């Protein structure tokens, strides 16, 4: 594809060898049944590094336009732990 010609690397996360795997630069093959947990962990890192720890305007704009992130749950700190507080509103996302 065009992005590969420009040097973009791609990764496939699949517990078994899928058809798309042969076109990827990296194949992550978690044990069967753990791929969903891996996807959630990757999402956690992305949210933490590009939204919570430091605000990146490109990420905020992308989240507003193309995702259902405005419907996520807002967390509150209680007794040193993060617990669900209420649904997050789109107006509360960055900028």
**According to the model, what pLDDT value does residue 81 have?**
86
What stretch of H or E contains 92?
A: none
As for how many domains the chain has, the answer is: 2
Is residue 22 predicted with pLDDT exceeding 70? yes
Q: What is the SS3 assignment for 71?
A: helix
Is residue 72's pLDDT more than 90? Answer: no
Greatest CA span in the chain, whole angstroms? 50
Residue 17 sits in which domain range?
1-30
Q: What percent of the chain has pLDDT over 70?
A: 92
Tell me: do 57 and 95 sit in the same domain.
yes
**43 and 12 inside one domain:** no
At residue 95, the pLDDT reads 53
Say whether both 56 and 90 belong to one domain: yes
- Is the pTM above the cut of 0.75? no
40 and 81: one domain? yes
* DSSP secondary structure letters along 13-56: E-SS--GGGGG-SEEE-PPTT-HHHHHHHHHHHHHIIIIISS--
pLDDT digits (tens, 9 = 90+) for 24-46: 899 999 998 998 889 889 988 98
């Amino acid at each position: 594809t065009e992005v590969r010609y420009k040097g973009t690397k791609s990764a496939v996360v699949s517990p078994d060898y899928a058809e798309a795997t042969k076109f990827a630069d990296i194949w992550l093959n978690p044990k069967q049944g753990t791929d969903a947990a891996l996807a959630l962990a990757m999402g956690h890192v992305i949210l933490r590094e590009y939204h919570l720890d430091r605000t990146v305007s490109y990420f905020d704009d992308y989240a507003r336009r193309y995702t259902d992130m405005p419907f996520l749950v807002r967390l509150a700190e209680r007794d040193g732990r993060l617990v669900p507080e209420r649904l997050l509103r789109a107006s509360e996302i960055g900028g």
